[in-house]
Amino acid sequence: MELARAAHSGDESAFAEIMRRYSPRVFRYASRFFRQRNLVEDAAQEVFLKAFTELGSFEGRGSMEGWLTRITTNTCLNMLRGSKRRPELTASDLTEDESTWLDDQMGHLAAERHRSTERSIVAADLAGRVLGTLPPDDQLVLTMMDGEDASVKEVAKLTGWSESKVKVQAFRARRRMRAAVEKLLGRKRTKD
């Protein structure tokens, strides 16, 4: 709270200290929304610029981290809403690595998965591409709830949505994601 007050009164070093403390968290959080480093960095910069102008409204009731996370959520959602959604992903759009990864997953559905950094990157890339075809709110709820095991309550707190809205949004988002992947797998099977 002291730091926030000092930064609000124009103390640049106090604001730099806030950035030093919280930028890793803001970056981690913005990385849920974007897969390109430059976009994550743009979002984080926007978050801190907004935070600086709104420091006066930070009353210190909650944590600074929580306050910044909420600003990050809104900023990233707005950025996503402002950008064009990617068209539907088809099997022919898949890279060879992505195609292999999908085959492996289907083959190892019941068995133990082999995990490697390279495979993880391929999976994360593919997830980013599939998520990019979905509405921004779907992307948020899926990444948080299914990717990071966040609870309905946590998502509601961060987004300002009601818990029932979060549940409905998650249900619809899962359906859309599943349909997109199912279509991809179906076309892939046909293609193979």
Partner 1 sequence: MKEKEARHIVTLIENTPFAGLSDEDLSTIRLHTAECTSCRSAFEAAYISSMMLKERAAESFEPSPFFQTRVLATLREQQAADSWSLGKLWRSTGALASSMVATVALLMVLTFAIPASQESTSAVSAFSPEAVLMNDGADDLVSDSEVLSTLYGAEEEVVK
Give contact residues for partner 1 (rule: CB under 8 A): 12, 15-16, 19-20, 23-24, 27-28, 30-32, 35, 37, 40-41, 44-45, 48-49, 52, 102, 105-106, 109, 113, 120-121, 123-124, 126-128, 130-131, 142-143, 145-149, 170-171, 174-175, 177-179, 181-182, 185-186
Closest by CA to 72, choosing from 144, 3, 162, is: 144
Please state, in angstroms and as integers, the Cα–Cα distance from residue 78 to each residue in 98, 106, 110, 119, 135, following that order.
Answer: 29, 35, 39, 31, 12
- Taking the complex as a whole, the smallest distance from the CB of residue 39 to partner 1 amounts, in Å, to 10
| Closer of 59 and 149 to partner 1 (Cβ) | 149
- Taking the complex as a whole, the smallest distance from the CB of residue 81 to partner 1 amounts, in Å, to 20
Q: What are phi and psi of 52, to 5 degrees?
A: -65, -45
- Taking the complex as a whole, the smallest distance from the CB of residue 180 to partner 1 amounts, in Å, to 8
- Taking the complex as a whole, the smallest distance from the CB of residue 59 to partner 1 amounts, in Å, to 22
Closest by CA to 47, choosing from 14, 6, 11, 19, is: 19
160 Rama class: left (phi>0) / alpha (psi -120 to 50) / beta: left
